[in-house]
């Protein structure tokens, strides 16, 4: 049984039913006074926002359970530090995943015991059973020059096409015969599933790898895809890589590859911020939908590198789409370097469990984005010309 602390009873009940469907019994607590006497039978306590740290500590100590903070949105590094100061043992994304939380639970035998163990009477703290975070070693960047161009693909919304664009970019760069690494920094991604690769290595390895590796050593920590580029799939850490881990990943792959593509999560995870700062160029994916770009400006201000917008899933006729792109540039202060049209083949392939390839038009659009953002080929002015000729850059 889980204790689910949620001051919002409606959401609490919804979460409870969600967990029930996954075979987890949960008891919702909406107020301090409702903390049940049978709390000792709980495997874990999950808290939504707004609970007093004193309550958190009391629950942990009285019941001997781990306290997990369940975050609706991404948590900043500072937020993470604050939460662990407030007594939380871990931060997990909403909705809580039973599979992940299980790691924090008490062993079934302990749970079943009617007798109160001496250990819990003397106030044993929460037990971490099988799961331990690998400790991050501090990462000291060496002055070795980076060889790769690092492209951070980001955005402030899920489902806008960050992963799709990352894969298309990797394919387009691979077609030029270059060494390409795609790092899945999104802890909720599923690129290995899509590419049908076993996640025998993940980005998590970069938390503990040495700061210098030979090429063959590094290749042991990546998966070769059918397309020929290398994938480093997402890991188990619910909030993604630490600052050190992300820094080391970019540093190591940056010495190895010609291009490193970072597929980030749509929120201010530490790894997203490191990606934004370390990248040579940032591509923020939006759609015409307002929610995908209204808050983009402050988000992109986290980087002082060139940042551009790519409008994806464009359905409007070319002229109208051009107007939208111009409007978007004015509103956000960032230039739109490309339009990728709604492409049914992308979605269909993904539905069929195939790697998204895109139509010829989509391929052209992606190559144009890479040129216009200065990733490949001539200078960016020339590419703007190219974009202008396409017609939509004109006022």
Ligand X SMILES: Nc1ncnc2c1ncn2[C@@H]1O[C@H](COP(=O)(O)OP(=O)(O)O)[C@@H](O)[C@H]1O
Residues found near Mg ion in the complex (CB under 5 A): 162-163
350, 355, 357, 384: which one binds ligand X (CB under 6 A): 350
Q: Near ligand X by CB under 6 A, which window of 47-55, 89-97, 162-170, 326-334? A: 162-170
> Which pairing describes strands 259-263 and 230-232: parallel, antiparallel, or unpaired?
unpaired
* Contacted entry of ligand X, Mg ion, none for residue 346, CB cut-off 5 to 8 Å set by kind: ligand X
Q: CA 10, 15, 18, 23: dihedral to nearest 10 degrees?
A: -130
Paired tokens of 34: 């409702």
- Is 158 near ligand X (CB under 6 A)? yes
Among 356, 373, 375, 387, binds ligand X (CB under 6 A): 356
The answer for residues whose C-beta is within 8 angstroms of residue 261's C-beta and 6 or more apart is: 151, 153, 166, 169, 170, 173, 180, 181, 182, 183
| Residue 75 C-beta: closest distance to ligand X, Å | 19
Query: Considering CB distances under 5 to 8 angstroms, the limit depending on partner class, which of ligand X, Mg ion, none binds residue 161?
Result: ligand X
Q: What span, in angstroms and rounded, lies between the C-alpha atoms of 325 and 387?
A: 12
Secondary structure class of 255 (helix, strand, coil): helix
Give the whole-angstrom CA distance, residue 164 versus residue 313. 11
Measured CA angle at 81 (ends 75, 84), to 5 deg? 100
Instruction: Note whether 126 binds ligand X by CB under 6 A.
Output: no
Least CB distance to ligand X at residue 300 (A):
16
Nearer to ligand X, 42 or 373 (CB): 373
Per-residue x/- track, 319-348, ligand X (CB under 6 A): ---------------------x-xx--xx-
Looking at residue 106, the DSSP 8-state letter turns out to be P
Binding mask 210-249 for ligand X (x = CB under 6 A): ----------------------------------------
Inter-CA distances, 395 with 113, 157, 388, Å? 73, 28, 10
Query: Which residues between 281 and 320 bind ligand X (CB under 6 A)?
Result: 312-313
Sites of contact with ligand X (CB under 6 A) = 155, 158-164, 312-313, 340, 342-343, 346-347, 350, 356
């Amino acid at each position: 049984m889980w204790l689910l602390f949620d001051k919002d009873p409606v959401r609490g009940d919804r979460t409870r039913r969600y967990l029930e469907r996954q075979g987890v019994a949960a008891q919702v607590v909406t107020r301090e006074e409702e903390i049940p006497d049978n709390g000792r039978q709980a495997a874990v306590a999950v808290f939504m926002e707004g609970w007093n740290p004193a309550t958190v500590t009391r629950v942990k100590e009285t019941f001997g359970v781990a306290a997990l903070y369940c975050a609706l949105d991404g948590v900043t590094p500072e937020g993470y530090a604050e939460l662990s100061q407030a007594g939380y043992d871990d931060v997990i994304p909403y909705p809580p995943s039973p599979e992940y939380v299980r790691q924090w639970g008490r062993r079934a035998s302990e749970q079943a015991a009617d007798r109160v163990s001496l250990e819990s009477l003397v106030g044993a703290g929460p037990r971490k059973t099988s799961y331990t975070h690998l400790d991050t070693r501090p990462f000291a960047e060496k002055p070795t020059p980076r060889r790769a161009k690092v492209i951070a693909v980001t955005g402030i919304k899920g489902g806008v096409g960050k992963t799709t664009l990352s894969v298309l970019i990797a394919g387009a760069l691979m077609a030029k015969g270059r060494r390409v690494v795609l790092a899945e920094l999104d802890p909720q991604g599923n690129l290995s599933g899509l590419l049908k690769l076993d996640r025998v290595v993940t980005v998590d390895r970069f938390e503990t790898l040495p700061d210098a590796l030979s090429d063959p050593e590094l290749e042991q920590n990546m998966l070769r895809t059918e397309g020929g580029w290398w994938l480093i799939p997402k890991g188990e850490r619910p909030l993604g890589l630490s600052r050190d881990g992300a820094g080391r990943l970019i540093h190591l792959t940056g010495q190895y590859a010609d291009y490193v593509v970072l597929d980030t999560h749509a929120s201010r995870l530490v790894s997203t911020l490191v990606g934004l700062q370390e990248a040579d160029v940032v591509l923020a994916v939006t759609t015409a939908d307002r929610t995908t770009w209204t808050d983009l400006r402050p988000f992109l201000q986290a980087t002082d590198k060139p940042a551009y917008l790519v409008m994806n899933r464009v359905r409007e006729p070319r002229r109208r789409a051009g107007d939208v792109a111009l409007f978007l540039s004015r509103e956000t202060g960032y230039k739109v370097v490309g339009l990728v049209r709604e492409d049914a083949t992308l979605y269909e392939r993904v539905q069929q469990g195939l790697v998204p390839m895109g139509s010829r038009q989509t391929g052209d659009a992606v190559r144009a984005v890479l040129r216009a953002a200065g990733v490949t080929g001539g200078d960016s002015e020339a590419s703007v010309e190219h974009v202008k000729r396409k017609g939509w850059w004109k006022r």
